[in-house]
Structure 1
Amino acid sequence: MDTDVIVVGAGPTGMTLANELLLAGVSTVLVDKLARRSDLSKAGGVQSRTLEVLDQRGLLEPLLATGEHPVTTGHFAGIPLPLQSERHCLPWRSVPQVVIEGFFERQLAARGLHARRGRELVGLAQDDDGVTAAFADGAALRSRYLVAADGAHSTVRSLLRAGFPGEPGTLTIIAADVRLGGADPSTSHTWSEDGHWAALFPLGTDPQGRQLRRLVLGGPDRSLPREVPVTEDEIREGLSAVFGTRVHLLELRYARRVTNASRQVERYRHGRVFLAGDAAHVHLPLGAQGMNTGMQDAFNLGWKLGAAVRGWAPEGLLDTYHAERHPAGAAVLRNVRAQSLLMDWAGTRDPEVLAAREIFTALARLPDVQHQLGDLMSGTAVRYPMPGSGSHPLVGLPAPDLDLGPARVHELLRSGRGVLLDPADRFAEAAGPWSDRVDRAGKGAGTEPVLVRPDGYVCWAGEGDPEPALRHWFGEPR
């Protein structure tokens, strides 16, 4: 083998996965067909659950130190969710994708991993022992596993001939990074009477201290083929259709057309090859859910591949990647479809759609509804199935970041290992055989026993014996 794992695609998903693999002690090669890292922002924010996992790896503070990344109000179909910030200890932050990629690139370089750029994958073969990847320059690499994080037009997915069912794109909208002048719009989403609409989100400031924004434009007669370049005149006309003379364009930095295609691969695992991020699921860019869902795919898969490479993965552990992340991706596709309908994405001004939105907007003023939608959008509502782990309310959910005195739960997870909170010091002997992959926090560690996986999810809690859960998730003891 040339390496343990090949990661194809050096975007947020691929670099997050590479970081997790290095943490697990797994040799990794990261390849990308682009000759240089993209300087386009694409996604514009980081959701609460992703922020939590970054904090668990000790990466959150240095990421936020890279610039001005304000806390922003979440939304569902353009309907503000102001209570979301109150509900989550780490509320939604405006961190553009280009900043995420640059940050991870530096983190990986500091650990000796540099993406091999300009390496286009053209062939793929696997057998019982490993995977062989062939590249356009004639080179080949052999690895135990390969992960496709190469985006919506994934070469790996095509080479696998993986089923990718769903709905094709029927229209496009414009996404652009801009500087604007004039009145500051008071809301993130604005509609005109004739169906044109605009959405604005903060992207921080440029080196000169000037405010940058993500602008999304849609409406009737605005859908053009994806390959048609977006012009400054088109942006100005779109702003005028929604805001009149109140808002005007100062600078266009980047623009692209985005379709409303909605697809998900049938299987996230194909033998020794796994799909993650946009290679596994594509949908409208609402709430930065695409980037965040892909990064969560990586957090889920990384420690499991590490366990397999290092020889302690229990039977079926790698299959839980599909079992846990396919439903999570499907849930994102469902909420995006619902949002696109309520937003009147096509600008039809259909009276039935407007009536449904009016009722939904009234419901969204209720705190319980805002909490439910906020959890859905932030990723904190994801609950993984945990067979044989009992019915404790915490099981399957992200571990709460308890302050245990000497350390917080998030700090205990920075090693990339599992954690057993054992406040009564009852399980020192039982957990000892797993001490090479599970850390135990003893007396004073919370109020009840909790076993947490390396990705921060609770896999056992409460009374009883943790040994069955230790075996199920962390394999046979030493």
Structure 2
Amino acid sequence: MDTDVLIVGAGPTGLMMAEELRVAGVSAVLVDKLPQRSDLSRAGGVQSRTLAALDQRGLMEPLLARGDFPKSAGHFAGIQLPLDNVGDRLPWRSVPQVDIEAFFEDHLAAHGIRARRDHELVDLAQDGDGVTTAFANGTTIRSRYVVAADGAHSKVRSLLRADFPGRPGIKTVIAADVRLAGAGGEMSHTWSDDGTWVALFPLGTDPQGRPLTRLVVGGPGRSVPRDTPITEEELRDGLRTVFDDRVQLLELRYSRRITNAARQAAQYRHGRVFLAGDAAHVHLPLGAQGMNTGIQDAVNLGWKLGAAVHGWAPPRLLDTYHDERHPVGAAVLRNVQAQSLIMDWLGTRDPDVMATRSLFQDLAQLPAVQRRLGDLLSGTAIRYEMPGVDTGHAASDVDGLHELLRSGRGVLFDPADQFGKIADLWSDRVDRVTIGTPMLVRPDGYVCWAGDPDELEPALGRWFGEPR
């Protein structure tokens, strides 16, 4: 074997996967077909659950220290959610994808891990022992496992001939990172009478302290083939149509056309190959949920691959990656499709759609609805199906849990100091602390046992394998 795990794709999902495998103590090779890191910010926000996952690895504070990344509660269908009704200690941060990738590259490089660029995948074959991959530059890599983090047009997924059901993109809009005059610095979603719409999302400031904005323009007659070049005049025309002369384009940093495609891989695991991030699920980029879901795919899968490489993974541990993450991806697709309808993404100005949006705006003023939407969008509503009572949810950060998880091991909270003899059998994989509330927390921060003494040993075996 050249490496334990080959990661194809050096975007946020692939970079997080490389970090998780580093923490798990297994070797990984990270490849990407691009000659250098992209300067395109396809996403612009980090959810609460993703921030918590970064904090578990000691990465949140160093990331946020690198720039002005304002707090945000996010939005649902362009309707702003109040910051004080997000039920989590870590509210969203507006962090452009380029900053996230640059941070991860620097962090991994400090640990001797660098993406091998100009590696375009051309072939893949797996057997009972591993996977052989071939690249256009003549390189061949042999690995125990492969993680496909190579985006919506995944070459790995194509070579696997993996089912990718769903809806193709039928309409396009423009998403651009810009500097504007007269925008006001607030999130907004505004239509003109003809159905043209403009959405504005603050992105913090550039190194010179000037405000940056994610600008999205769509509506009737504005959907053109995805590869059509984007001009500044096209953006200015959209701004004039909606705002007259009140908002002006000062600088265009980056732009692309996005579609309303909505697809999800039928299976996330294909033998020794795993699909993650946009290779597993694609949808409209509303609320940066694609990037965040991909990062959390990596957090879920990384420790499980580490367990498999180290030889202590229970028989079905790798299968739980699909079992747990496929429903999460499906839920994201559903909420994004609902948002696209409520925000009239097609610009129809259909009276039924407008009536639905008006009613939803009224409902969204209720604190209980705001909290539910905040949990949904921030990733804090995720619940994995697990045996036991009060399991499957992310553990709250009590008694320094985020620091305890930095080792990449499980954590058993044993405040009555009654499980030492049992815990000792798994002490090479699980740390025990005599504080807090009785619970067993996986390396990804999710509770997999709580309270019932008779269920602790089965839970340890289910998630951490045979005792040593």
TM range (shorter): over 0.9
Q: Aligned partners of 1:18 and 1:73: how far apart in 2?
A: 29
Q: Aligned partners of 2:185 and 2:457: how far apart in 1?
A: 56
SS in structure 2 at match of 1:117: coil
User: Shift in Å at residue 261 of structure 1?
Assistant: 0.3
In the TM superposition, 1:172-183 aligns within 5 A as 172-183=172-183
**Are 2:131 and 1:161 equivalent residues in the alignment?**
no
One-letter amino acid of the structure 2 residue matched with residue 451 of structure 1: L
Q: Identify the residue that residue 432 of structure 1 maps to in structure 2.
A: 424
User: Shift in Å at residue 83 of structure 1?
Assistant: 4.7
User: Shift in Å at residue 73 of structure 1?
Assistant: 2.9
Q: Identify the residue that residue 396 of structure 2 maps to in structure 1.
A: 400
Q: Identify the residue that residue 57 of structure 2 maps to in structure 1.
A: 57
Question: What are the Cα deviations for residues 228-262 of structure 1, in whole angstroms up to 9, with x where unaligned?
Answer: 01100001001111111110000011110000000
More displaced 10-residue stretch of structure 1: 181-190 or 224-233: 181-190
User: Shift in Å at residue 80 of structure 1?
Assistant: 1.4
One-letter amino acid of the structure 2 residue matched with residue 384 of structure 1: Y
Question: What are the Cα deviations for residues 283-307 of structure 1, in whole angstroms up to 9, with x where unaligned?
Answer: 0000000000000000000000000
Question: What are the Cα deviations for residues 339-394 of structure 1, in whole angstroms up to 9, with x where unaligned?
Answer: 0000100110000111111111111111111111111111111100113xx223xx
Q: Identify the residue that residue 41 of structure 1 maps to in structure 2.
A: 41
**Are 2:447 and 1:475 equivalent residues in the alignment?**
no
Question: What are the Cα deviations for residues 145-191 of structure 1, in whole angstroms up to 9, with x where unaligned?
Answer: 00100000000000000000000111001000100012516542122
User: Shift in Å at residue 193 of structure 1?
Assistant: 2.5
Decide which of 444, 450, 454 is 2:443's aligned counterpart: 454
User: Shift in Å at residue 85 of structure 1?
Assistant: 5.3
More displaced 10-residue stretch of structure 1: 458-467 or 312-321: 458-467
Q: Aligned partners of 1:202 and 1:398: how far apart in 2?
A: 29
Q: Identify the residue that residue 374 of structure 2 maps to in structure 1.
A: 374
Q: Identify the residue that residue 405 of structure 2 maps to in structure 1.
A: 413
**Are 2:65 and 1:73 equivalent residues in the alignment?**
no
- The change in CA–CA distance for 1:295 and 1:187 in structure 2 (over 3 A counts) is closer
One-letter amino acid of the structure 2 residue matched with residue 414 of structure 1: R
Q: Identify the residue that residue 210 of structure 2 maps to in structure 1.
A: 210
Q: Identify the residue that residue 257 of structure 1 maps to in structure 2.
A: 257
Q: Aligned partners of 1:142 and 1:278: how far apart in 2?
A: 24
Q: Identify the residue that residue 353 of structure 1 maps to in structure 2.
A: 353
- The change in CA–CA distance for 1:95 and 1:192 in structure 2 (over 3 A counts) is same
Decide which of 370, 374, 391 is 2:389's aligned counterpart: 391
Q: Aligned partners of 2:389 and 2:446: how far apart in 1?
A: 15
Over the residues paired in the alignment, what is the CA RMSD in angstroms? 1.0
In the TM superposition, 1:318-337 aligns within 5 A as 318-337=318-337
- The change in CA–CA distance for 1:327 and 1:84 in structure 2 (over 3 A counts) is farther
Q: Aligned partners of 2:28 and 2:259: how far apart in 1?
A: 33
- The change in CA–CA distance for 1:7 and 1:44 in structure 2 (over 3 A counts) is same
User: 2:186–2:201: 8 Å Cα contact kept in structure 1?
Assistant: no
Q: Identify the residue that residue 312 of structure 1 maps to in structure 2.
A: 312
Q: Aligned partners of 2:128 and 2:452: how far apart in 1?
A: 41
SS in structure 2 at match of 1:112: coil
Q: Aligned partners of 1:105 and 1:321: how far apart in 2?
A: 25
User: 1:169–1:262: 8 Å Cα contact kept in structure 2?
Assistant: yes
User: 1:45–1:92: 8 Å Cα contact kept in structure 2?
Assistant: yes
Q: Aligned partners of 1:202 and 1:474: how far apart in 2?
A: 43
Question: What are the Cα deviations for residues 165-220 of structure 1, in whole angstroms up to 9, with x where unaligned?
Answer: 00011100100010001251654212222211111112222222111111111111
SS in structure 1 at match of 2:4: strand
- The change in CA–CA distance for 1:24 and 1:186 in structure 2 (over 3 A counts) is closer
Q: Aligned partners of 1:200 and 1:413: how far apart in 2?
A: 37
Q: Aligned partners of 2:7 and 2:85: how far apart in 1?
A: 34
Provide TM-score, normalisation by structure 2.
0.98
Q: Aligned partners of 2:295 and 2:187: how far apart in 1?
A: 28
User: 1:84–1:370: 8 Å Cα contact kept in structure 2?
Assistant: no
Q: Aligned partners of 1:295 and 1:453: how far apart in 2?
A: 17
- The change in CA–CA distance for 1:186 and 1:103 in structure 2 (over 3 A counts) is closer
One-letter amino acid of the structure 2 residue matched with residue 332 of structure 1: V
Runs of 5+ unmatched residues, structure 1: none
In the TM superposition, 1:238-277 aligns within 5 A as 238-277=238-277
User: Shift in Å at residue 463 of structure 1?
Assistant: 2.6
Q: Aligned partners of 2:185 and 2:143: how far apart in 1?
A: 52
One-letter amino acid of the structure 1 residue matched with residue 433 of structure 2: A
Q: Identify the residue that residue 285 of structure 2 maps to in structure 1.
A: 285
Q: Aligned partners of 2:192 and 2:401: how far apart in 1?
A: 48
User: Shift in Å at residue 422 of structure 1?
Assistant: 0.7
More displaced 10-residue stretch of structure 1: 457-466 or 268-277: 457-466
User: 1:83–1:370: 8 Å Cα contact kept in structure 2?
Assistant: no
In the TM superposition, 1:20-169 aligns within 5 A as 20-83=20-83, 86-169=86-169
One-letter amino acid of the structure 2 residue matched with residue 454 of structure 1: P
Q: Aligned partners of 1:223 and 1:436: how far apart in 2?
A: 56
Q: Aligned partners of 1:188 and 1:423: how far apart in 2?
A: 48
Q: Aligned partners of 1:183 and 1:231: how far apart in 2?
A: 20
More displaced 10-residue stretch of structure 1: 277-286 or 458-467: 458-467
SS in structure 1 at match of 2:222: coil
Q: Aligned partners of 2:273 and 2:314: how far apart in 1?
A: 18
One-letter amino acid of the structure 2 residue matched with residue 318 of structure 1: L
Q: Aligned partners of 1:85 and 1:13: how far apart in 2?
A: 28
SS in structure 2 at match of 1:87: coil
User: 1:201–1:213: 8 Å Cα contact kept in structure 2?
Assistant: yes
